[in-house]
């Protein structure tokens, strides 16, 4: 049995140039998690629909068998990395719900964080309208500052109350009734949230998997996440 933590990554949805729907795992996620010392375990959607073409209000509720399949996948994981993407589906919400029930370590980025902020209620995302550019063109830069709450796990991980981050989003999360906002951007948007429990459950708006190779703060977040996955193994 491998001593490396197994990180479950729910697959995302997109289309090929000819319009065929696909599910995929981003290469930056795979390479970064493997480089950091993890085994990557893709978790496929379970409903018999084209996830990219089905609108949010057209999804049926998950069946008990579909829920069983999701739980079977999570049985094989030591932590969950929720990636960015284009859409939130019932599958995503239930995966997170199960991870929270299990007290499984969760790191959500970009849309993953936004989904975390409203996973148990109607989707409440807002288009960026502050005039600040939150969608950079290059992968190899950090584009704006975020301010971190000193009374947060994120501050404990990074050790700074202000850092530079990358930015690749057109929508942003709003305040919710469960997760605590622990970081904001220069123009006041939510950049990080934490679940108020005794386990690791962190959502961030930026992409540490993209800046892992050249940014120490990104390394700290990913490496701490894997450390929490290793601790979860010992608690099983």
Please write the tens of the pLDDT for every residue from 55-108. 888 999 999 999 999 999 999 999 999 999 888 899 999 999 999 999 999 999
Q: Is residue 180 part of a domain?
A: yes
Q: Is residue 153 part of a domain?
A: yes
Q: Is residue 93 part of a domain?
A: yes
What's the pTM? 0.92
CB 9 within 8 A of CB 25: yes
Q: What is the domain extent for residue 58?
A: 6-235
DSSP annotation of 54? S
Q: Residue 84 corresponds to which tokens in the numbers above?
A: 């960015």
CB 224 within 8 A of CB 186: no
DSSP annotation of 142? -
In whole angstroms, give the CA distance from residue 235 to residue 227.
13
Q: In whole numbers, what is the pLDDT of the chain averaged over residues? A: 91
Domain count, the chain: 1
Please write the tens of the pLDDT for every residue from 113-152. 998 988 777 766 667 777 677 777 877 888 989 999 999 9
Q: Is residue 116 part of a domain?
A: yes
Q: Is residue 171 part of a domain?
A: yes
Q: Is residue 11 part of a domain?
A: yes
Q: Is residue 131 part of a domain?
A: yes
- We report the CATH number of the domain holding residue 49 as 3.40.50.880
Q: Is residue 1 part of a domain?
A: no
Please write the tens of the pLDDT for every residue from 156-191. 999 999 999 988 776 678 777 789 999 999 988 999
């Amino acid at each position: 049995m491998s001593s490396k933590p197994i990180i479950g990554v729910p697959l995302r949805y997109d289309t090929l140039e000819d319009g065929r729907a696909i599910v995929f795992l981003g290469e930056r996620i795979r390479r970064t998690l493997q480089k950091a010392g993890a085994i990557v375990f893709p978790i496929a959607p379970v409903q018999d629909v084209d996830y990219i073409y089905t609108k949010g209000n057209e999804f049926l509720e998950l069946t008990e068998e579909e829920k069983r399949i999701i739980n079977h996948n999570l049985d094989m994981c030591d932590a969950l990395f929720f990636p960015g993407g284009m859409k939130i589906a019932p599958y995503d919400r239930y995966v997170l719900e199960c991870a929270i029930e299990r007290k499984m370590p969760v790191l959500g980025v970009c849309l993953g964080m936004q989904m975390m902020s409203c996973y148990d209620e109607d989707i409440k995302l807002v288009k960026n309208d502050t005039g600040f550019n939150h969608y950079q063109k290059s992968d190899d830069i950090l584009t704006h500052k975020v301010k971190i709450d000193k009374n947060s796990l994120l501050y404990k991980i990074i050790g700074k109350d202000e850092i530079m981050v990358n930015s690749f989003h057109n929508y942003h999360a709003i305040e919710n009734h469960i997760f605590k906002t622990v970081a904001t951007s220069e123009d006041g948007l939510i950049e990080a949230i934490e679940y108020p429990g005794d386990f690791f459950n962190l959502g961030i708006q930026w992409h540490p998997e993209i800046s892992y190779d050249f940014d120490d703060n990104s390394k700290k977040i990913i490496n701490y996440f894997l450390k929490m996955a290793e601790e979860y193994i010992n608690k099983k």
